[in-house]
Structure 1
């Protein structure tokens, strides 16, 4: 009887385990890894627009880096091309598997953009859950079916904006900026890569 009970508990545990979906699918990683067509050192075809998407990764337990595909490509070429077989493999490790880049790479203290999460926003996210958090920090943009980030309720000097955008990113929403109008649109990640 004990063996059957143990077997049933083990079976229930295995069935209940969820496989975590990666932040970026294989297709998305391929698009991010696309550097355009280069012949004789000249770019003939530009990389796809998805390669300009904001990307975040950690450098230690507390610090997060905001960057883009171009900067990650430079880190790969200069410091990680021997450790990883391809840029795609490097991107997948950094964006999906939590690979931590060496902090010594960031010689310029301003680049790439580094920040720590705002504890007030983190607690609010934890208390509300993502759906309610999303409702609070988004609003209609005036364009049919398009949402924008509700920046009016954030204090940028306290890192609230970066924390909110990072938490949206972790939940597969990307920010598309209209610098002229000062609007940040929210897009589902899969829509950014179409």
Structure 2
């Protein structure tokens, strides 16, 4: 997965070409226990500006950041900082992941898929639920024409 996320193509005329995984949310930690949502494109630019001398390659940097071995000190202004919803965190802790997933998802119209059960999720809880799914190797994909949030096992997405 890291290799696929780390692949970035820089064109002489166009500059950094958007990655196939650009819409994929990634979460990184900051020194003050802040959680930031970003993507591989922005992390690559951040790596080039602040960490390219310290890390031999972007995939090594990405692995360190995504596996929480590296806590970032700086943060671009455009990264979204999460404030975790305490009620959702508490529910996650008491239910465990499987029951949590079952509670906040429903069967999708697409065979064999799940989607977020938006009817029970307040707008300010979405980021926390997304982050907790991310920690358990699930990601959310937005289906614009159908206004659905599909829940995808990360390993299935990268096959």
Q: TM-score, normalised by structure 2?
A: 0.91
* C-alpha distance in structure 2 between counterparts of 1:92 and 1:72, whole Å: 11
* C-alpha distance in structure 1 between counterparts of 2:32 and 2:141, whole Å: 27
Aligned counterpart in structure 2 of residue 146 of structure 1, from 110, 113, 119: 113
Based on CA coordinates, which of the two structures has the bigger radius of gyration? 1
Aligned counterpart in structure 2 of residue 120 of structure 1, from 76, 81, 87: 87
Q: CA deviation at 1:116?
A: 1.6
In the alignment, which residue of structure 2 is the partner of 1:35?
Answer: 8
In the alignment, which residue of structure 1 is the partner of 2:28?
Answer: 57
Are 1:92 and 2:63 an aligned pair? yes
Go from structure 1 to structure 2 and tell me whether the alpha carbon gap of 1:66 and 1:46 turns closer, same or farther (over 3 Å shift).
Answer: closer
**Mapping 1:2-13, distance limit 5 Å:** none
Gap regions ≥5 residues in structure 1: 1-27
* C-alpha distance in structure 2 between counterparts of 1:117 and 1:62, whole Å: 11
* C-alpha distance in structure 2 between counterparts of 1:80 and 1:62, whole Å: 20
* C-alpha distance in structure 2 between counterparts of 1:96 and 1:42, whole Å: 31
Contact 2:18 2:41 (8 Å CA) reproduced: no
Q: CA deviation at 1:59?
A: 1.3
Q: CA deviation at 1:139?
A: 0.4
Gap regions ≥5 residues in structure 2: none
Contact 2:141 2:152 (8 Å CA) reproduced: yes
SS in structure 2 opposite 1:99? coil
Q: CA deviation at 1:46?
A: 6.2
Q: CA deviation at 1:99?
A: 1.3
SS in structure 2 opposite 1:177? strand
Contact 2:28 2:68 (8 Å CA) reproduced: no
Contact 2:11 2:17 (8 Å CA) reproduced: no
* C-alpha distance in structure 2 between counterparts of 1:53 and 1:193, whole Å: 11
